[in-house]
Amino acid sequence: MDQIESSNFSTAEEDESAKKLVWCLTRVGKDLDWLRLFENTEVTIGRGLNVTHQLVSPSCPLMISRMHCMFKQRDGGQWTVTDKKSLNGVWVNGERIPVDKAHLLRLGDSIKLGVPIVGTKVEYEYILVRQRLEDIKPYLVTGPSEGACATSRIKKTKRKFNTELEPSTSSKSKLYRHSATDKSQGQPYPTDEPRDRPGTRVREEAGPSMRQHRRLDSPLERPSSPSRSLSSLQMYSQNMLVLRERMNFTQQQVEALEAEGGRQRDDPHREEQVRELQSQLEMLRGQLHRMEMLERSISETENRLEVQKTQHEEEGLKKLLEEKGLKKQLEEALQEQRKVIEELALSRQGFEDVLKAKDKELEVTKEEKERARTQKEEVVTQMTEVLENELQCIICSELFIRAVTLNCAHSFCLHCISEWRKRKDECPICRQAILSQTRSLVLDNCIDRMVEQLSPDMKQRRLVLITERKAQPEEVMVIHDDDSSSSSSSSSSSSSSSSSNSDLFMDSFSSVISLEGSVIWSSSSASYISDDSDVDNVAL
């Protein structure tokens, strides 16, 4: 029962911890390798071994420093990040933070470790979040990455191999130590060269050498720097010395076994050992040959690097000289541009002054034109009133159509006076008896010229009226009596006076037309006077 209760209690604790909110660095663009920030703990990140989260870049291993940065939680629950003198820095929201200074983080901040390589984005970019543990647990990093494991294995192998290469007496004694599993009973060797089973020890010695050989092939393909190539060359030299010693020792073993084989020809175990040692000797010779080839290739690489370095220095000097020349040319071009800009500024100032003067002249011209237009409108308005009062028929209130002048010097439309005389044979204005009526061509011509300046609607309306009245032609009635001479003289005088007045009026009207261009006449609808009282009122 106690075990069941304890298991239930532990399960409940696990459920509560899974629902607990934890701080985490989510990796941008990936659903794995998220880094959990443990509370009340200094979380360190780097490529070293003694860090909380180990990051090793497969594309650029030196992008992350051994101790790159540290995350720490304050008493208030807020997290800070500190750059531990990393090579490529820590970037928060696109800005690099100072070294060895705690930078306060906020929820949702972007943290970048290192800088982007040319043509790529930053490899390690995280976002600070706080979520439930059960939601982010599948994405958390569970252990060191494959790159970190491989790096640690390589470092351990290097340390082991360097330890084996130390030319100490203890290592030689271990190297030549007789194996307990050796079943052969050979003759004893001198004390400075202890007995050993050749096959087992040679294989053990050849293994690290082969691994080191495979490990050192990659620097030959792409040497990163002369110092690294020099260290590789020194390492190869040491390896060659070790291989020569092993080869000499194996040769001695082969010769000794062959000598023993001459005395003990019937021992198959000795023959097998001789064959095995001969194969190991051939393998060591091949390794030595490869090491010599590698040494020569490294020397050639060193020479090529020196030549390339010299060429790069010469190219750098050439580029520096070219940059200086280009800089001088740019300075001269900038000076010329400054001069041109100053000249353009002066020209612009002059143009602005001219434009201001033109604007003032334009304002004055506009004011003058506005005053002239106002004056023209006043003159045209006055002249229009005069024309409407003087050239309208009092019967139809239209401009005269086929104007007729009576013996009393009053003028009417031919159609209107004919219709009027059917009822009364006296002047509608002065009530004098109509003795004669005469066509006034001067008035017709004047009105026709005025109508030409009117709007198309007014012209069409006048043409319709003329057409309607022409449909009923009227005959001019001439009355002859005793006073014909006097009436004719009076009519001639009146016609002459009216013609002179019309000519004077035409001159003034032509001047008005030339000023404005058009005169708009407003006329009312045609109406006829039906009784004497209306005519009297109109005459008055």
pLDDT digits (tens, 9 = 90+) for 230-250: 565 666 667 777 777 777 887
Buried b (16+ CB within 10 A) or exposed e, 276-305: bbbebbebbeebbeebeebbeebeebbeeb
On the question of pLDDT at 50 being above 60, the answer is: yes
pLDDT of residue 12: 55
Domain boundaries, the chain: 2-144, 162-326, 391-539
pLDDT of residue 59: 84
Query: Side chain identity at 165, as an amino acid letter?
Result: L
Select, from the ranges 137-151, 345-359, 474-488, the one with the highest average predicted confidence (pLDDT).
Answer: 345-359
pLDDT of residue 427: 92
Average pLDDT, the chain: 72
Q: Is 353 helix (H, G, I), strand (E, B) or coil?
A: helix
Count, in order, helices (H) and strands (E) of the chain: 13, 14
Which H or E run includes 385? Answer: helix 268-390
CATH superfamily of 391-539: Zinc/RING finger domain, C3HC4 (zinc finger) (3.30.40.10)
C-alpha to C-alpha distance for 388 and 400, rounded to whole angstroms: 11
On the question of pLDDT at 99 being above 90, the answer is: yes
Query: Side chain identity at 296, as an amino acid letter?
Result: R
Read off φ and ψ for residue 123, nearest 5 degrees: -70, -40
User: In the chain, what percentage of residues exceed pLDDT 90?
Assistant: 26
Residue range 80-91, pLDDT digits in tens: 999 999 988 999
On the question of pLDDT at 520 being above 60, the answer is: no
- Check the CA dihedral 351-357-363-366 and report its sign: negative
- Residue written as token pair 């008896």: 433
When pLDDT is averaged across residues 182-211 and rounded to a whole number, the result is 39
Long-range contacts of 217-225 (CB under 8 A, 24+ apart): 217/294, 220/294, 220/297, 220/298, 220/301, 223/301, 223/305
Residue range 290-321, pLDDT digits in tens: 878 877 887 888 888 889 999 999 998 988 99
* pLDDT level of residue 498 (50, 70, 90 thresholds): very low
CATH label, 2-144, candidates 1.20.140.10, 2.60.200.20, 3.30.450.40, 3.40.50.10600? 2.60.200.20
DSSP string of 224-256, one letter each residue: --HHHHHHHHHHHHHHHHHHHHHHHHHHHHHHH
Q: How many other CB atoms are found less than 10 A from the CB of residue 196?
A: 20
- Comparing 368 with 499, the larger pLDDT belongs to 368
